[in-house]
């Protein structure tokens, strides 16, 4: 396959499962429509995102909190750095320091 050096992404596409990341910062609502379309997973960096009561809305309209989404089988929260794959339409992050949620945008060339 031939490509032009420096234009690989445009000509060949993104090589990985994810094509980008969006940081949903403190005290924000992020919608995954338009240029943000394609939210396919999310993760958190620390427990502040869980304690804050942040809300994740899925593309079918259902919602959950980060505390529920990132809890293990026993109910203990162990979500930091663990990506959860889901079809996400909106993330609401409350006004709590270090409560960010990170959302990965899918590479639609890889299924």
Query: What are the domain boundaries of the chain?
Result: 15-106
Nearest CA among 9, 10, 32 for reference residue 21: 32
Is 15's pLDDT higher than 70? yes
pTM above 0.75, yes or no: yes
H helix runs in 52-89, sequence order: 66-69
**Selection from 66-70, 81-85, 102-106 with the highest mean pLDDT:** 102-106
CB 69 within 8 A of CB 54: no
pLDDT digit string (tens) for 25-65? 999 999 999 999 999 999 988 878 887 789 999 999 999 99
């Amino acid at each position: 396959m031939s490509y032009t050096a420096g234009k690989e992404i445009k000509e060949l596409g993104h090589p990985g499962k994810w094509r980008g990341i969006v940081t949903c910062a403190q005290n924000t609502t992020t919608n995954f429509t338009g240029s943000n379309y394609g939210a396919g997973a999310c993760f958190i960096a620390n427990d502040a995102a869980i304690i804050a009561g942040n809300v994740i809305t899925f593309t079918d309209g259902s919602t959950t909190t980060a505390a529920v989404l990132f809890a293990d089988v026993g109910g203990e929260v162990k979500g930091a750095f663990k990506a959860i794959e889901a079809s996400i339409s909106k993330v609401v992050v409350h006004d709590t320091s270090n409560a960010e949620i990170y959302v990965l945008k899918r590479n639609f060339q890889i299924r």
